[in-house]
Structure 1
């Protein structure tokens, strides 16, 4: 695992802490790569407790050091917490404070990029605001259970993220509401063009259609302004008009270059497209194939490329900055990939990976039962037999009310039991409705028979 070229600690005591941290990180990496067995809570908690003890030791060593310069210890410590955080997600402890570490790192990274680009939609900010609210609840509820160092660190990071988010929201609030719709559409078109630009086969027609949408917006302006029904310019018209110009200019560049990347930046481009594509696949199949610790390798790869920029620019081997087209293309891939990581972390279920197969089956059953209910139910109880048999087979897997794996009781028992109960309730509702329908049919047939006999 690569560690950035930063100084080694000068204090011999810190060197000892570094050796221990490196050992923990290596053990976590080995545990992450072992696919022969699921990750158990006791494996993770042992490493977490060792890490907390080392943090206490490090704080004692650095007490009174107000001029501390970040060294290798800080970087390895960060890697350890990042890994531990993803392990907590993997074992289903998604609402514990350590699980929040990786998510706050990703939120901070996304906000950095949104601030740098100055391009964001209301949906972007709403999603991040909801996530920060969720993290706030986790941190408030975990003060007594977890390391004060970790709680304080995450609280400061969360506060910083909230400040950054508020500044972005202020920029958005400067636009009149109707204009925000146009602004969001432009952001969507810009991203769609960037997506088309990074596909394996470039489609001229796809980008041309997007460009036509831009020209429609341009044609609707009056004297270069976006105006209301009375002809008065909206507040923020100039800003949105500038964005429109940027979008039109980008469409011309994309159509001219057709996805061609200079040789000097081809390796970075290939790495980033590979990461983006892998994360995209995981976002589709994550319920069945994702182990949250896998995200660590993706993050390290992205961080390494993102942090290799100098003054915000990508530099080739000769020290020359990338042209605008390359710069925007690489940044789009990085930001898109971080977005996928953010989505996958937010989608992490509060269930151990050992129980995910059962949890996913129940999720599928629930969706099927809801679909059956919404489409009018069943005509007879017999149609529910397959659902009943599957639910009963899952229910019978419990031992003393618990879903066991060997002698272990994995995390997420409450979530699975609750989901199983919801499925049984849906099945019961459908059965009652089917019984009533059958009884109604029997009564109708009986009445019809009596009527015919009288005739």
Structure 2
């Protein structure tokens, strides 16, 4: 997808930097599209170094000219950093600073939407808070103790500012949530859950009025607990946040009524955008089921770009058709739900990314499956004889035999993530050994008993 139309740089030197960055971005896009081979560190790091060199040039130019207006150069630079960040995840260098860029972008989007909608729960904020804390610690450590070449001062400053803004937004959201007293937090959580379930039902391929009516029934059950239109404590006192919960209840109920009335039918002029968003959501949902086996982190770039373009096309928070007519409330909320859900999927994928190069992922995933099987066998009471462990032992040994001088080598390269894979392999061997010992002891006991 093309970079959104923005002014070209006026300074000839900035234009030269832009031209260089476009070449870098195009190289990254070609690498992203190439599925014939694994991405290697030596493919990515030179492009990262080249990007940082161009950034230094840009910084010097703008320090001299004092220009702070954003132009196309900034957009292309953002695309480069976004791609490089996802590539760092793909090659298993998750703990390196460049890998953090894509995560901060997604968190910022999520926080923007949570702030705009004012519909979120404490659970929504917990994960983001933990992630931002980890990012902040990593950046601080990189600034004070780390002299790695990839820790560009420019990138560290950029990420530090981003994380700072996100933390400020998070604090504001937490303050808003503080309006609700402890007794009503569970009710608040349930109302948010029902709201999202209604929105999910509203965007399914086949709309089910029955499904929405069941959710509405849950909503009405909560409403019946009110006394005089207020949510109260068992002793009849009115807890903090009763008014806010009452307003939220009405808001969710109104939404359920609108959804039942519209039955998933989108106005014709907004259907192309709606179908695009549903397609993105559905693709991401499929990936969530097969992520470990099917996802290359750079695949997320195209999803992000499409979502960003649609999200940024809004004016004053709303969508407009080709004739400049605004979307109605139903259309607006439905499409915003799809955008937010998709960003949430992307966030979860980045968080779940393993610090293992994609070249080693097939081995890593097999070991993960093997570990789960061995744990399941152990939790089910173990094996009755050592022979039952043969399939597991054969698989473990076949994977162990792939190592050359203790390293997993793929096409002559030693990919990132050796430590993670070796550690997982050792865990599997330990589990297998413990099961073997238990089986032998059991067999000995049975023999002695006879």
Give the TM bin, normalised by the shorter chain: over 0.9
- 1:310 matched to 2:315: yes
Please give the per-residue CA displacement for 1:416-444, whole angstroms capped at 9, x wherever unaligned.
Answer: 00000011111111111111111111111
State the partner residue of 1:443: 448
So what's the TM-score if we normalise by structure 1? 0.97
Please give the per-residue CA displacement for 1:252-283, whole angstroms capped at 9, x wherever unaligned.
Answer: 00000000000110000010000000011111
Please give the per-residue CA displacement for 1:385-426, whole angstroms capped at 9, x wherever unaligned.
Answer: 111111111111000000001210000000000000011111
State the partner residue of 2:134: 134
Correspondence list, 1:39-188, <5 A: 39-143=39-143, 144-145=147-148, 146-188=151-193
Deviation at 1:177, TM superposition (A): 1.6
Contact 1:121/1:184, CA 8 A, preserved across alignment: yes
Question: Partners of 1:345 and 1:98 in 2: how far apart?
Answer: 13
Deviation at 1:66, TM superposition (A): 4.0
Contact 1:176/1:234, CA 8 A, preserved across alignment: yes
State the partner residue of 1:452: none
State the partner residue of 1:328: 333
State the partner residue of 1:431: 436
CA root-mean-square deviation: 0.9
So what's the TM-score if we normalise by structure 2? 0.98
State the partner residue of 1:448: none
State the partner residue of 2:198: 193
- 1:275 matched to 2:286: no
Q: Give ranges in structure 2 of 5+ residues lacking alignment.
A: none
Match of 1:376 among 376, 381, 391: 381
Question: Partners of 2:294 and 2:137 in 1: how far apart?
Answer: 28
Match of 2:212 among 207, 215, 220: 207
Deviation at 1:228, TM superposition (A): 1.1
State the partner residue of 1:453: none
Please give the per-residue CA displacement for 1:30-70, whole angstroms capped at 9, x wherever unaligned.
Answer: 01000000101000001001001001111111114445100
Question: Partners of 1:417 and 1:137 in 2: how far apart?
Answer: 27
Question: Partners of 1:282 and 1:137 in 2: how far apart?
Answer: 30
Correspondence list, 1:232-243, <5 A: 232-243=237-248
Deviation at 1:130, TM superposition (A): 1.4
Question: Partners of 1:290 and 1:395 in 2: how far apart?
Answer: 25
Question: Partners of 1:180 and 1:206 in 2: how far apart?
Answer: 25
Q: Give ranges in structure 1 of 5+ residues lacking alignment.
A: 446-455
Aligned residue pair count:
445
What SS is found at the alignment partner of 1:244? helix
Deviation at 1:382, TM superposition (A): 1.3
Question: Partners of 1:298 and 1:232 in 2: how far apart?
Answer: 49
Question: Partners of 1:88 and 1:137 in 2: how far apart?
Answer: 19
Match of 1:391 among 387, 396, 400: 396
State the partner residue of 1:36: 36
Question: Partners of 1:8 and 1:405 in 2: how far apart?
Answer: 43
What SS is found at the alignment partner of 2:63? coil
Question: Partners of 1:378 and 1:137 in 2: how far apart?
Answer: 45
Match of 1:361 among 366, 373, 386: 366
Please give the per-residue CA displacement for 1:204-223, whole angstroms capped at 9, x wherever unaligned.
Answer: 11000000011011111011
State the partner residue of 1:27: 27
What SS is found at the alignment partner of 2:326? coil
Question: Partners of 1:124 and 1:64 in 2: how far apart?
Answer: 43
Runs of 4+ in structure 1 deviating by more than 3 angstroms, as ranges, are: 64-67
Question: Partners of 1:66 and 1:215 in 2: how far apart?
Answer: 59
What SS is found at the alignment partner of 1:142? helix
Instruction: Find the structure with the greater CA-based Rg.
Output: 1
Contact 1:198/1:259, CA 8 A, preserved across alignment: yes
Contact 1:96/1:142, CA 8 A, preserved across alignment: no
